[in-house]
A and B are shown apart, each in its own frame.
Chain A
Amino acid sequence: MSFADRTAIVGIGESRYGKRASILDISEFALLCQAIKAAADDAGMDIEDIDGFCSFGDERHEPVRVQQALGLPRLRFSNMVWGAGGGGCSGAVMNAALAVHAGICNSVVVYRSLCQGQYQRFGQYRPRPIGGSHMAPFGLLTPAQFVALTFRRHMHLYGTSTDALAEVAVAFRSHAQRNPRAVARSPLTYEDHQASRLIADPFRLFDCCLETDGACAIIVTSRERARNLRHVPTRILAAAQASNPGWGLGPSGSHNMAIDDYATVNSRELAKALFGMAGITPSDLDVAQIYDAFTGVVIMALEDFGICGRGEGGPFAQAGNLRWPHGALPSNTAGGLLSEAYLHGLNLVIEGVRQMRGDSTAQVDNAQTCLVTSGGAQAHKSALILARD
């Protein structure tokens, strides 16, 4: 049994989600406090039992502030995973599990808050002090453009079609239509996708994730403590982080990762570590939450994680395999970052927990295992395999 499997996710909490800059009546920090209180309530635990705090790159609110605002008596662990955007999200859950397993603290909250109207937008240019000089003067400025370059290469190598991108967008939107929390619930057709404006060719508007406001949190504690709480615990069968060699010069750093690795999402080493720890294979997965900052990331992730062969991600999606309820691997069952909300991937972990509890609005029958992946264009990647206790 891995260290991670000696712990469990016992609470999930979310603020309301809204379109970017739509939440202006309440601060980002207040939304975060709401989400953490909701996670403790959901777990059926005393919030004062939270004594550890984990997040990942780009979180604004430090644990000491959270502890102070929520009146928590103890801070025994405070931790942030490196890497911009969502690549460290599952890594933060991993660190929470490590801290609990090591006996450093009892219960860890993993959290993310993001109000892009109150602060800066992630989809716009942000200075990148390392390597930025080799990209920004040439107009290579944002994640959509970074991944458009890697995905264009995928199209060249494997003949992947933009029809595959449309299928990802339409499938996840159909899942979001069942989810009352989802920010984007209006119907989306293949034609709507193909007619939407180009952002960074081949990516169109509906290939890009939402920009939203909101906050969410989960609570990790030991399997023993989990048994006395409200819900069936969600086991963390495996938790891993990894980066293939050379990805320090990846899509957000001058595009000099290894040529054989170019048209990927830098997750092949991660997949080895993850499935090795879990002791299962990709074919054992019942459901998946794949980091969908862009539709093309999903196609490449399917290959990196061994859900299909290299170059087969497009046809795999186009065959309807990501769709609930009849696909081979229903994915992003709450709508994902494309249609539910963009909380840098922590909302994907929450949907994974819902699937393991049997509470999803697109519930996969008898789902026992769920893959959750973290990170789009960044170098640092992490992932979880969740299981029903």
Chain B
Amino acid sequence: MTASSAYLPPGLPTPAADLDDLGFWEHCNRRELRIQRCSACGHFRHTPMPTCPACRSMDFTWAEVPGTGTVFSHTIAHHATHPALRGFGPYNIVVVLLDGADDVRMVGNVVDVAADEVHIGMKVVLHWEATAEGGYLPRWRRA
């Protein structure tokens, strides 16, 4: 997979890791989906943050998850809201409820379906998309 087959056009913002979510993106760049998990109570949390909202422990691991999930909600973006999207689209945006990670959801895109085929309840599987920077973005394919 090369960057030229990216789901969205070049020029959109790319992940700008900070000290809270650096571990998440570093694992993504190795094609590993790992979600922050509390070492004290086992609760998964996302997006990454310093403290477990369930028990306030600050100890955590980056726990590997299956990389499958279910479309929890979706929209089809028609209107270009960023210069990189002029003349492009429509494209889908989904919220995926991950398997094996409590109620953690990730925002993403289902890359292999027509816009009107996306629906709530659709089963999806990870699709690692190579970025121009040599890393990987977690998108989704129909399972």
Other-chain residue from B21, B47, B74, B139 in contact with A149 (beta carbon distance below 8 A): B74
Are A148 and B47 interface neighbours, CB within 8 A?
A: no
B95 within 8 A of A: yes
Are B105 and A201 interface neighbours, CB within 8 A?
A: no
Given A141-B81, A255-B105: A200 and B76 within 8 A (CB)?
A: yes
A131 within 8 A of B: yes
Given A137-B137, A156-B73, A256-B46: A142 and B13 within 8 A (CB)?
A: no
Chain B, Cβ-Cβ closest to A133: B15
- Chain B interface (Cβ < 8 Å from any Cβ of A): 8, 12-18, 21, 25, 46-47, 53, 72-79, 81-82, 85, 90-91, 93, 95, 103-109, 120, 137, 139
Are B82 and A141 interface neighbours, CB within 8 A?
A: yes
Are B13 and A132 interface neighbours, CB within 8 A?
A: yes
Chain A contacts for B14, CB-based, 8 A:
137
Are A138 and B73 interface neighbours, CB within 8 A?
A: no
Cα–Cα, bound, A245→B103 (Å): 14
Q: A119-170: which residues lie under 8 A (CB-CB) from chain B? A: 123-125, 127, 131-142, 144-145, 148-150, 152-153, 156
Are A124 and B81 interface neighbours, CB within 8 A?
A: yes
Cα–Cα, bound, A149→B97 (Å): 13
Interface size class of A (residues with CB under 8 A): 35 or more
A66 within 8 A of B: no
Are B109 and A138 interface neighbours, CB within 8 A?
A: yes
A197 within 8 A of B: yes
Other-chain residue from A124, A198, A245, A259 in contact with B78 (beta carbon distance below 8 A): A198
- Encoded as 1 (CB less than 8 Å from any B CB) or 0, chain A from 96 to 139 comes to 00000000000000000000000000011101000111111111
B80, chain A: closest CB distance, angstroms: 9
Given A123-B81, A149-B75, A152-B75: A135 and B107 within 8 A (CB)?
A: yes
Other-chain residue from A136, A197, A200, A259 in contact with B12 (beta carbon distance below 8 A): A136
Other-chain residue from B46, B104, B108 in contact with A138 (beta carbon distance below 8 A): B108
A335 within 8 A of B: no
A24 within 8 A of B: no
Given A139-B85, A145-B93, A200-B79: A249 and B47 within 8 A (CB)?
A: yes
Given A132-B13, A136-B12, A139-B85: A254 and B47 within 8 A (CB)?
A: yes
Cα–Cα, bound, A152→B116 (Å): 13
Are B104 and A256 interface neighbours, CB within 8 A?
A: yes
